[in-house]
Chains A and B, each alone.
Chain A
Amino acid sequence: METTEYILKVKDIHKSYGNVEVLKGVSFNVKKGETKCFIGPSGTGKSTLLRCINQLTVPDQGQIWLHDEEVTHAGPRINYFRQRIGMVFQNFYLFDHLTAVRNVEIALIKVLRMNPKEAREKAMYELNQVGMADWADHYPAELSGGQAQRVSIARALAMDPDVILFDEPTSALDPELTREVIEVMRNLASLGMTMLVVTHEMGFACSAANEILFMENGRVIEQGSPSDLLNNPQFERCKAFIGQYHGFHE
């Protein structure tokens, strides 16, 4: 059965703001356990694409399928799909009035209707996974950026999602803090989490991604495996971009 092979299908997504078409038909399929990295210049529509996948932004055209269910046009059932599609934001967006552990457990209680004791255990387990168990009782304002981002990853993980979307998870962080977050993500990838990652971290993309998609002007214009990126002329534009962005990179 060809269709069940993919857990997420993105088909011909278009989105305009006013007269500007930000996404001009993006399609790709994601297998279970796969990590895909999206790179590309600012304003290319990477964030918009991720937000279309969980319908935080409603695309003008095109379809998203999770397993064999359509996410687009889901109506109120979108809340169900969002439980299944986790998201991690550049600026963390932790709930400022809740401690780390409350941040992780609140959706378990309010959305999944888990009982508080079970939710607490699950939340502590996830915090432990990202190395933040010792900080469970701290408020977001008391955490470093790297710590906050790890808590927000735990928050997404706690829902046991089918896939997690990462929108530049390390762009707001110093190199030092970037490393600790990348470490957590690398670990997740190796544990078989399905991830879509918008990032400028080429080190992560080359080592953890199954596929790299280079976007420009609302389209995926180059895509392939990390080794293609290194060895293959198909990634010409992408390489030029990386060169500009990082200076030279291996």
Chain B
Amino acid sequence: MSTESIILDWLPYLSEGIAVTLGLVACSLGIGLIMGLPMALGQIYGSRPVQIIVGTYVWFFRGLPVLVLLFLFYFGIFPGIGLGGIPAFIVGGTVLGLRGAAYQSQIFRGAIQSISEGQMTAARSLGMSRFTAIKSIILPQAMRIALPGWSNEYPEMLTESSVCYAIGVAELLTRSSQIVSQTYITLPIYIVCALIFILLNYIGMKGLTILEKKLKIPGFGGGGEGAL
């Protein structure tokens, strides 16, 4: 059998890894967004204890290598709370998500702090509560400013997701190496794996660029020229 036909035979198995990889990316971006934004708000507008808690969280998750975090959670924390048998995918998604939140909170924080004081002043002078001002005035602007930086998390997270190989999540790299050990075809398999990553990266970035264009407003970065 030729190398090509062997690879073709295995391609369906490898392709299923795309869903797993994208699942990990979705976890990291999704959890990162859902947790990162409130964390940023807490760090800026919250009370002192809230600021300290968020600060510590960020420091912890940015201070450790992903691999170390993965092992800590996989062998320590999850079994420690009685969830030892949980699928590796859940562990991987959780770790990437928690870590994503730490990074993304800082992207959002920077964006919120870049909004000039006058926007809040004007909002309050019209009788808006602080909450309404943040929700209706500050965040819509901050999110547009954050979008380019946030988009950069996508390729970051996509490539980073492959560390989940280490705990056996059946994502692209794990599957590739399984195929290699079955077929003894090495380089071609990893090249296919690499091509899939590049394709996923390309498609994702295209989508995000379209989103940025859609949200583009005169005077704001995030759509090409003059990105902040």
Binding site for B on A (CB under 8 A): 54, 56, 76, 79-83, 86-87, 89, 91, 93-97, 106-107, 110-111, 139-142, 152, 155-156, 159
Q: Is the CB of B118 within 8 A of A91?
A: yes
Question: Given A96-B141, A139-B218, A139-B219 in contact, is the A111-B127 Cβ separation under 8 Å?
Answer: yes
How many whole Å from A74's CB to the nearest CB in chain B? Answer: 12
Q: Does B206 contact A (CB under 8 A)?
A: no
CB-nearest residue of chain A to B130: A79
Q: In the complex, which residues of chain A have a beta carbon less than 8 angstroms from the beta carbon of B140? A: 97
Q: In the complex, which residues of chain A have a beta carbon less than 8 angstroms from the beta carbon of B181? A: none
The main secondary structure of chain B at its interface with chain A is: helix
Q: How far is the CA of A201 from the CA of B53 in the complex (A)?
A: 51
CB-nearest residue of chain A to B115: A96
Question: Given A96-B119, A106-B136 in contact, is the A56-B125 Cβ separation under 8 Å?
Answer: yes
A-B contact pairs, 11 of them (CB 8 A): A76-B129, A79-B128, A83-B126, A83-B127, A86-B125, A91-B118, A93-B121, A111-B128, A141-B219, A141-B220, A155-B126
Query: B211-227: which residues lie under 8 A (CB-CB) from chain A?
Result: 217-220
CB-nearest residue of chain B to A82: B127
CB-nearest residue of chain B to A94: B122
Q: How far is the CA of A160 from the CA of B141 in the complex (A)?
A: 27
Q: Does B144 contact A (CB under 8 A)?
A: yes
Q: Is the CB of A140 within 8 A of B127?
A: no
Q: Is the CB of A139 within 8 A of B127?
A: no
Known: A97-B137, A97-B140. 7 other contacts (CB 8 A): A87-B122, A89-B118, A93-B118, A96-B220, A97-B217, A107-B126, A139-B217
Among A94, A97, A141, A152, the most chain B Cβ lie within 10 Å of the Cβ of: A97
Q: How far is the CA of A76 from the CA of B130 in the complex (A)?
A: 10
Going nearest first, the 6 A-B pairs with the smallest beta carbon separation are A141-B219, A83-B127, A93-B122, A93-B118, A107-B126, A82-B127
Q: Is the CB of A110 within 8 A of B118?
A: no
Query: What range describes how many residues of B lie at the interface?
Result: 20 to 34
Q: How far is the CA of A156 from the CA of B125 in the complex (A)?
A: 9
Query: B136-193: which residues lie under 8 A (CB-CB) from chain A?
Result: 136-137, 140-141, 144
Q: In the complex, which residues of chain A have a beta carbon less than 8 angstroms from the beta carbon of B122? A: 87, 89, 93-95, 152
Q: Is the CB of B132 within 8 A of A110?
A: yes
Q: In the complex, which residues of chain B have a beta carbon less than 8 angstroms from the beta carbon of A142? A: 218-219
Q: In the complex, which residues of chain B have a beta carbon less than 8 angstroms from the beta carbon of A152? A: 122
Q: How far is the CA of A86 from the CA of B118 in the complex (A)?
A: 15
Q: Is the CB of B126 within 8 A of A82?
A: yes
How many whole Å from B59's CB to the nearest CB in chain A? Answer: 32
Q: In the complex, which residues of chain B have a beta carbon less than 8 angstroms from the beta carbon of A97? A: 137, 140-141, 144, 217, 220
Q: In the complex, which residues of chain B have a beta carbon less than 8 angstroms from the beta carbon of A56? A: 121, 124-125
Q: In the complex, which residues of chain A have a beta carbon less than 8 angstroms from the beta carbon of B128? A: 79, 107, 110-111
How many whole Å from B137's CB to the nearest CB in chain A? Answer: 6
Q: In the complex, which residues of chain A have a beta carbon less than 8 angstroms from the beta carbon of B136? A: 106, 110
Q: How far is the CA of A230 from the CA of B217 in the complex (A)?
A: 49
Q: In the complex, which residues of chain B have a beta carbon less than 8 angstroms from the beta carbon of A107? A: 123, 126-128
How many whole Å from A113's CB to the nearest CB in chain B? Answer: 11
Q: How far is the CA of A111 from the CA of B132 in the complex (A)?
A: 9
Q: In the complex, which residues of chain A have a beta carbon less than 8 angstroms from the beta carbon of B141? A: 95-97
Q: In the complex, which residues of chain A have a beta carbon less than 8 angstroms from the beta carbon of B127? A: 79-83, 107, 111, 159
Among B127, B137, B220, the most chain A Cβ lie within 10 Å of the Cβ of: B127
How many whole Å from A135's CB to the nearest CB in chain B? Answer: 13
Q: Is the CB of B125 within 8 A of A54?
A: yes
Q: In the complex, which residues of chain A have a beta carbon less than 8 angstroms from the beta carbon of B123? A: 95, 107
Query: B34-83: which residues lie under 8 A (CB-CB) from chain A?
Result: none
Q: In the complex, which residues of chain A have a beta carbon less than 8 angstroms from the beta carbon of B118? A: 89, 91, 93
Q: In the complex, which residues of chain A have a beta carbon less than 8 angstroms from the beta carbon of B137? A: 95, 97, 106
Among A107, A141, A142, A155, the most chain B Cβ lie within 10 Å of the Cβ of: A107
Q: Is the CB of B129 within 8 A of A89?
A: no
Q: How far is the CA of A106 from the CA of B218 in the complex (A)?
A: 19
